[in-house]
Structure 1
C-alpha cells in the first residue's frame, strides 16, 4: 500500500490492518489536503498583493490576515503531528477538529478578496502616477509647482526690488552712533573705487551732484578721473534744503556748499553825550571808552566817536551758526 502523502491527498485504497474505515481516513486527509491548498492560495494572494505594493491592502493583511495565518500555521503543524501519529502509531485523530480549530475558521483566498473589496484599486492613478507602488508627490502634484523652496535669505533680489523694499542708494540719514551700519558710508570725502561701489557711482553720475572739478566738498568728486570717486563731506556742516526754484536761496546747484555769511549792517553817526552818562549795550566810546572829544561850549556835552561790539551782549564765535546737535551724516552706498 502506498504511504499516504500530500501528493495523493493522503488517500488510501485498502484500509486492511488499520483500525478505522477508509471513509474516515479519506475524509480526514481530504480535509487536510483542502486546508493546505487554502493556505497555499492565501500565501499566493499575499505575495501578489505585496508585489503590487498596495499599501492599504498590506495594512489590512497585516492587521487582519496575519493573525489568521499564524492560527492556520499552528493548525497545520498540529495536523502534521496527528498524521504522523496515524501513519506511525496507528492512532485516530479527532476528525471534527484539527489543531483545535473548526475548518471554517481559516481564511481562504476568497475571504481575502472579500476583505479587500472597496479598497483603492491599483488601476487608479494620482496625477498620472499609478498606485501600484509607492507614490512620491512633487510640488506640482498638489498645486504648488510655482512655489520657490529657496530660503528667503538666499533668494536673489533684483536691483529694482531692493530699491522698492529698502532705502535707495544715495539716500542720506542722520545716524545716532559712531558705528556705521551695514550698507552705509559716512560722508567724509573718502575716495572709493568705482568697481567696489558701482551702484553708488551710478547714482553720483545721475544725481546732478557730481562736481567735474572736484572742488566743491558738498558734492561728489570724480576722484582720479578713471577708477575712483569721492564722497561729499558733510562733517561739521549744517544741511539746508535745496531752493529748487523757490527764490529764497537762488542760484544754488544741488549739493553745492555755501560759506557762512550774515546780513550787512551799516550806519554812521556823530553823537553828543552828557559827561554824566555814557553809551551802553554793544555801543561804547572808542576802544577804551576814553575817546571823548572836546566839550561843547556852554552845553556841558562832549563830542564822541562810538564803537560797536556785539560780544558785549551776545555769545560770539569764529562762525555764524544756529543752535545745533551733532549727528553723523551717512549715505546709502550698497546692499
Structure 2
C-alpha cells in the first residue's frame, strides 16, 4: 500500500491497524524518512511519525569589504560580477563570489580594506543541517 495518508480498513488489515491505530497510513509523499530515535539520543524528543521542518546550522559567510577611494582599480569586475551585492556609503562596496547572499543594511568598516565576518544565514538556523522529514520506525522482519 502507498504511504499517501489514505485510510484503510482495520477488518481487512488487522495487523496494519495494530501499527497504525488511526487506520490511516502516514503521508510520506515528498518527505525524507529519518529513522526514529527511540531513545538513542541523536534526535531525541520526537515521537513516531512526527514531522520535522528543515534546518540549517548556524554558520558564517566571509566577504571582502572595500571602502573609500580606489574601488575601480581594486575591482575590475565591478558591474559585471553577479556576486556584487550592494554599495555602501561613499564608494564602499561589499563583494562576494556567492550570488543571492543576504547582506545587512549597514556595515561598520575598520580601516580601508579587509575581510569581515557576517552572519548571513537569512533565518531558520538550527543545531544541524537537515531536510524536512518524518520520524519512521525501520523494521526488519525475521522469519
Structure of higher RCO (CA pairs closer than 8 Å, 6+ residues apart): 2
TM-score (norm 1): 0.24
TM-score (norm 2): 0.49
Q: Which structure features the higher share of strand residues?
A: 2
